[in-house]
Amino acid sequence: MDKNEDMDQGISLSDLFGLVKANILLILLITIFTTALAGAYAFTMIETKYSSTSEMMVLIYAGTNEDATNPNYQINAGQFVETTVSLIKSDTIINELRASNIVDIPENMTNNQIKKATTVNSKVNSFIITISFTNKDKVLAQDMADAITETTVLYLGSQFNGNFIKTTNASNPIPQTTNKLLYTIVGGLIGLALSAIIILVNRFLRNTYRTKEELEKGIEIQVLGVIPEYEIKESGKK
Amino acid sequence: MTKNLFKRERLTSYDYLITREQPFSFVSEAFQKTLVNLEFVNVDGNLNVLQFTSSLAGAGKTTFISNIIYLLGQKNKKVVVIDLDLRKPRINRVFNAPNTNGVTDYLAGKINYETLVNYSDKLKVNYIVAGERTLSVVNVLEANKLKELIKKLKSEFDYVLVDSPPVIAVSDALYIAKLVDGVIFVVGQNEAKKTIINEAVSILRQNKVNIIGSVFTQVNVKDSEVLAYTYGYGYRYGYDDLNNKKKTND
């Protein structure tokens, strides 16, 4: 296969435009279908969830090694806050929460689901930790944010040499707005990509003679003529 | 079904001859060029009876034959086209004629030679339609009377063009090939897979058919190539041209 033949076998920008033009119906159908599918999913299937946030503060008591009741753990404030953040989403706190009965946790809600629904954040050089809980039930979201914060303050306060203070009660639940339009647009883009893949795969898998040279070489018969494709409109008929 | 849904439908109007309606279009130029090549191949003048076949249906045989026969007629050649695609006859549509008083009727003795051979005032060429449908197609194609008919046509006309069925579908084309001087193999771009076309050619070769050339039809020509075809004459072919032509005719 010589270089010229290689070039003939390739696909040029003009070919690409030709392919798009020839398959515009397919592209439109697939794009409309995936857009509609994504839109239907976004607007009907995705449930609105609510999030409520509570805050707590962590203060470290700098005790001394001489006082056995107040040992100094050689821990800095940043590390302590980070450790607290990790502990909040641990089974220890969640089990304490279940045992405390201060909130009615649905029976089918597992520890892992609680961990996934819980978001704990802290800022650098700040002793404030924000605890958010997200659920489709706005009351439960608020109750859980409150309960997790309270349980953490009580449990860690009794276990560690620090001062844990609940600074803010759980906020009114805020709906977590999913960008449904974005979902729909992404659906459309996926449709475009999918149709492009289908067209290109079809183009490269189509095992037909495309050029005169290819035909001549394939069947080993001289080509006497190449007749271009032409179309006749109904109005063009006699 | 999917193919029909997504593939642009190719409207086929057999009585619309582009070489007649738009003689200066680049498509007509392509037909002219093909005819020149065909005459060059037949420089000795011993290939007077030419059969046109393809691998599968839809390659554009009838459209090709009708345009070539028109161009030959324009060159004052005495030419006749005979429809031996007895299963799916189409030549009558080119001439807007009924498929009656054709080959099968002649072979059955229902009509005479004069009635069989028709003349088109519009295209200025002779034509023979397939005639009444028959179940014994092979018997018809093997009939001595058909051989004699072809012989007679050959003696009377400069060219006898034979429209025949595709090679893969039925064996008719092979029977017809025994009656002709040479075969033109018509290939439609994207109409059939390479393996099918190769198989058809292989069948023809196995049967010692004299394939004198092939024609590549329904080729999607890029704009740049279109310009090359027209040699800068400035002719463009498209819907607008068709409509304008129609308006002019009206």
pLDDT digits (tens, 9 = 90+) for B177-208: 999 999 999 998 877 888 899 999 999 999 99
pLDDT for position A206: 74
Q: Is residue B184 part of a domain?
A: yes
pLDDT greater at residue A209 or residue A79 = A209
Contact B13 A237 (CB under 8 A): yes
Question: Measured between alpha carbons, how far is A149 from A166 in angstroms, rounded to an integer?
Answer: 7
Residue B52 lies in a domain: yes
Residue B164 lies in a domain: yes
Structural domain of residue B116, as residue ranges? 47-216
- B69-94 confidence digits (pLDDT tens): 999 999 999 999 999 998 899 899 98
Of residues B27, B41, B215, nearest to A230 (C-beta): B27
Place of tokens 């459309």: A188
Mean pLDDT rounded to a whole number for chain B: 82
Q: What's the pLDDT score for residue B241?
A: 42
Chain B residues near residue A209 by CB distance under 8 angstroms: 187, 189, 194, 197, 216
Q: Which pLDDT value is given to residue B180?
A: 93
pTM above 0.90, yes or no: no
- If you average pLDDT over every residue of chain A, what do you get? 83
Answer whether residue B109 is part of any domain. yes
Pick A219's closest partner by Cβ from B16, B31, B197.
Answer: B197
Task: Say yes or no to pLDDT of B56 above 60.
Answer: yes
- The answer to whether residue B169 sits within a structural domain is yes
B80: domain CATH number?
3.40.50.300
The answer to the question of residue B89 being in a domain is: yes
Q: Tell me, rounded to whole angstroms, the distance of Cα B66 from its chain centroid.
A: 5
Tell me the shortest Cα–Cα distance from A231 to chain B, in angstroms. 7
Instruction: Please report the ipTM that was assigned to this predicted complex.
Output: 0.80
| Alpha-carbon gap, residue B58 to B10, rounded angstroms | 10
Inter-axis angle of helices A180-205 and A24-40, nearest 10: 150
Would B192 be classed as within a structural domain?
yes
Provide the angle, in degrees to the nearest 10, between the axes of the packed helices A180-205 and A13-22. Answer: 110
Name chain A contacts of B184, Cβ cutoff 8 Å.
Answer: 224
Q: Does A218 touch chain B (CB under 8 A)?
A: yes
Distance in angstroms (rounded) separating the CA atoms of residues B215 and A225: 5
Buried b / exposed e over B66-89, threshold 16 CB at 10 Å, is bbbbbbbbbeeeebbbbbbbbeeb
Among the partner-chain residues B6, B37, B219, the one whose CB lies closest to the CB of A229 is B219
Rounded mean pLDDT of A195-221?
86
Identify whether B85 is part of a domain.
Answer: yes
Q: Determine the Cα–Cα distance for residues A190 and A203; give it in Å rounded to an integer.
A: 20
Predicted local distance difference test score (pLDDT) of residue B129: 94
CA–CA min distance B113, chain A (Å): 30
Instruction: Answer whether A227 sits within 8 Å of B211, measured CB to CB.
Output: no
For A76, other C-beta atoms within 10 Å of its C-beta total 9
SS (H, E, C) A80-128: HHHHHHHHHCCHHHHHHHHHHCCCCCCCCCCHHHHHHHEEEEECCCCCE
Which H helix or E strand runs over A58?
Answer: strand A49-60
Alpha-carbon span B14 to B239, nearest angstrom: 17
Contact B243/A237, CB-based, under 8 Å?
no
> Domain total for chain B?
1
Spatial distance between the Cα atoms of B196 and B190, rounded to a whole number of angstroms: 12
Task: Pick the residue from chain A with its C-alpha nearest to B28.
Answer: A227
Could you say which of A215, A222, A232 has the minimum Cβ distance to residue B11? A232
Residue of A174, A110, A113, A109 whose CA lies nearest to A141 = A174
For A58-62, A116-120, A132-136, B218-222, which range has the lowest pLDDT when averaged over its residues? A58-62
Question: What spatial distance separates the first Cα and last Cα of chain A, rounded to whole Å?
Answer: 47
CA-based nearest distance A85→chain B, Å: 58
> What is the 8-class DSSP label of residue A236?
G
